[in-house]
Amino acid sequence: RKLLVDIHTHVYLPRYADFLRSRSNVPRIFSRTNNLGEQEERLLILENEPTAGRPIGAQYWDRDEKLKFMDKHGIDVSVVSSANPWLDFLPASTAHELAGNLNQDLESYCATSPSLQGGSALRRLYGFGLLPLVPEVTVASLLDTVKQISGLPHLKGIIMGTRGVGKGLDDETLEPVWEAIEKAGLVIFLHPHYGVDGKAWGEKENGHVLSLALGFPFETTVATTRLILSGVFDRYPNLRLLLAHSGGALPQLSSRLASCIDHDPVVASRLSHDARYYLGKLYFDAVAYGSEELGFVSDKRKIGSARMLFGTDHPFFPPLSETEKWKSVVENLEAIDGVEGWTDTEREAVRGANALKLFGLS
């Protein structure tokens, strides 16, 4: 059997969870008494969330729970990333220190995980490190953390939000950071957190549906487009960027983007290539839940299946009722199986081989 590799799976490391418990403002973890008279912990990570937050438990930080989930769903290897909001809410000095500690924690989390059976040198867990991407942080601090991550053998990349150091990823302050990440050969996993202006969702109560189904991918779409327009991929052609949630709406809107660039004197001559060229430089997770969506993303600019990678988004989106397996995981695997035109070899690559290649795991 070919390996199944999950590249979109999260953790709140124990040190981070304890830090959230110490806080009185969002983001925070707090305890309350539920309707059964039992104590339970709740998580609040966004200012506009319902005050009750969401339930949180050991599956968010306990490595054994992560491995049990992997075993239950036949996942051989996971590339784990700290869940949002990362360090965005902290002052620079605190963020730098906590990033260093959490990166060391994640290295230990992965390095002491079980090896694959059959004498493989592969561990079952690898990780994305954290940068202290907050306003007022120094470039030296960021470069120091990039160097730290590149020296930790089980960390294969960096998870990054869309705000950079406060002005977005097209901020010129980040130029030395892109250069250092490219030189280190680290993969950037771009993940949303803030969505878009909540006023767009109206007053009707729709739970998290609009903010997660639309706000998250729109946030990724805007951030990636700004990065493309900044010319970063022309200056650092070997920079490897992996987009959460199959790139949001960017594949669908890429031709409109290209046309708007061609007709705008401000940016018409800024880039070295047609805007759609840069989609072929990007990597996409296969967390789209539908074969039609995966097929569309992989066909755009002929990137094929070679830049798509399986993910689960664990431990988020647990089923509302008890089931043998998580519906979201089953749907993502069924979506890979259902893409018309993919060969069995291509499907196997999306399930695992593409990730092994991207992260240099053999």
Number of structural domains (the chain) is 1
What DSSP designation does 231 have? T
Q: What is the pLDDT of residue 89?
A: 96
| Domain annotation covers residue 35 | no
CA proximity to 27, closest of 15, 17, 37, 13: 17
| Domain annotation covers residue 44 | no
Give whole-number Cα distances, 236 to 18, 332, 339, in Å.
Answer: 38, 32, 32
b/e code 114-147 from CB counts within 10 Å (16+ = b): eeeeeeeebbbbbbbbbbbbbeebeeebbbbbbe
- Grouped pLDDT means (10 residues each) for the chain, 362 residues: 94 98 96 88 87 91 98 98 97 97 98 90 97 97 98 98 97 98 98 90 87 93 97 98 96 94 94 94 95 86 81 92 91 96 94 98 87
How far apart CA 271 and CA 197 sit, in angstroms, is: 29
Cross-strand bridge partners of residue 159: 189
Give every strand in the sheet of 54-55, ordered side by side: 28-33, 39-44, 54-55
Q: Residue 334: give its domain's CATH number.
A: 3.20.20.140
Q: What is the pLDDT of residue 300?
A: 60
Q: What single letter denotes the amino acid at residue 329?
A: V
How far apart CA 358 and CA 128 sit, in angstroms, is: 13
Q: What is the pLDDT of residue 117?
A: 87
Q: What is the pLDDT of residue 205?
A: 87
What DSSP designation does 359 have? T
| Domain annotation covers residue 294 | yes
What is the value of pTM for the model shown?
Answer: 0.96
Tokens (6 digits) for 176: 């030395």
Q: What is the pLDDT of residue 172?
A: 97
Q: What's the N-to-C CA distance of the chain in angstroms?
A: 15
Q: What is the pLDDT of residue 302?
A: 54
| Domain annotation covers residue 20 | no
Instruction: Residue 157: give the domain boundaries.
Output: 5-10+58-359
| Domain annotation covers residue 46 | no
> In whole angstroms, how large is the CA radius of gyration of the chain?
20
How far apart CA 319 and CA 3 sit, in angstroms, is: 25
| Domain annotation covers residue 225 | yes
| Domain annotation covers residue 132 | yes
| Domain annotation covers residue 31 | no
